[in-house]
Amino acid sequence: MGTGIAAACAVALGVAPSAGAGASTTGNQAATKQVTAAFTTLFNASNTNKAAKEALLQNSSSYKAAFTKLFSSSVAKANPTKAQVTSVTFPAAAACQSAVQVPKCAAVTYNLDSAKTGSSLLSGVSGYAVDIKGHWLVSDTTFCSLAKLGGAAC
């Protein structure tokens, strides 16, 4: 990913999700671990288990083409990434419903780093995780924001 693309991604994704009234991190250690694992696994280029990654994406069956294009592109292969989650908060249900149309979500801030060099490609990227039937998944809105920047349509 070139510097120009990284800058564009930072601008496009730089608006932090609003935690909203009632946001909390207290008592959510297990959920924070699951959210962190979902982001780090999905965006870890060294993990080539496509099925395991797809299982961590909300509505993954709707995004198979975008998923394949994003993770198998020559750009992705030349610039593999890894994610580092820096912050997880849990907004109130109304804020989640407004942001990602589910009652239980996590606002996530993360960095996308080069898996080859460790250098930062995107810092302070904002996204969401959603709780679907007790499983924390990377939200489809988060995935599609990155996919569109990578040239894959959602």
Greatest alpha-carbon pair distance for the chain in Å reads 43
Angle, nearest 10°, between helix axes 140-149 and 3-13? 150
Among the listed ranges 34-48, 52-66, 70-84, 101-115, which one has the minimum average pLDDT value?
70-84
| Spatial separation of the C-alpha atoms in residues 84 and 22, rounded to whole Å | 25
Residue 61 is classified by DSSP as G
pLDDT score at 140: 95
CATH class of 3-149: alpha beta
Spatial neighbors of 11 by CB under 8 A, at least 6 apart, are none
* CA 77 distance to own-chain centroid: 18
pTM, rounded to two decimals: 0.80
pLDDT score at 24: 52
50 compared with 150, residue with greater pLDDT: 50
127 compared with 78, residue with greater pLDDT: 127
Q: Are 110 and 125 in contact (CB under 8 A)?
A: yes
Please give the structure tokens belonging to residue 77: 């292969």
Residue 102 is classified by DSSP as S
Q: How confident is the model at residue 26 (pLDDT cuts 50, 70, 90)?
A: low
pLDDT tens per residue across span 104-131: 999 999 999 998 998 998 999 999 999 9
pLDDT score at 1: 39
Spatial neighbors of 153 by CB under 8 A, at least 6 apart, are 65, 66, 147
| Spatial separation of the C-alpha atoms in residues 154 and 95, rounded to whole Å | 24
Q: Are 102 and 132 in contact (CB under 8 A)?
A: yes
pLDDT tens per residue across span 46-61: 888 889 999 999 999 9
Residue type, 105: C
Quick check: 101 pLDDT over 70? yes
Q: How confident is the model at residue 64 (pLDDT cuts 50, 70, 90)?
A: confident
Quick check: 44 pLDDT over 70? yes
Which of 41-55, 56-70, 83-97: highest mean pLDDT?
Answer: 83-97
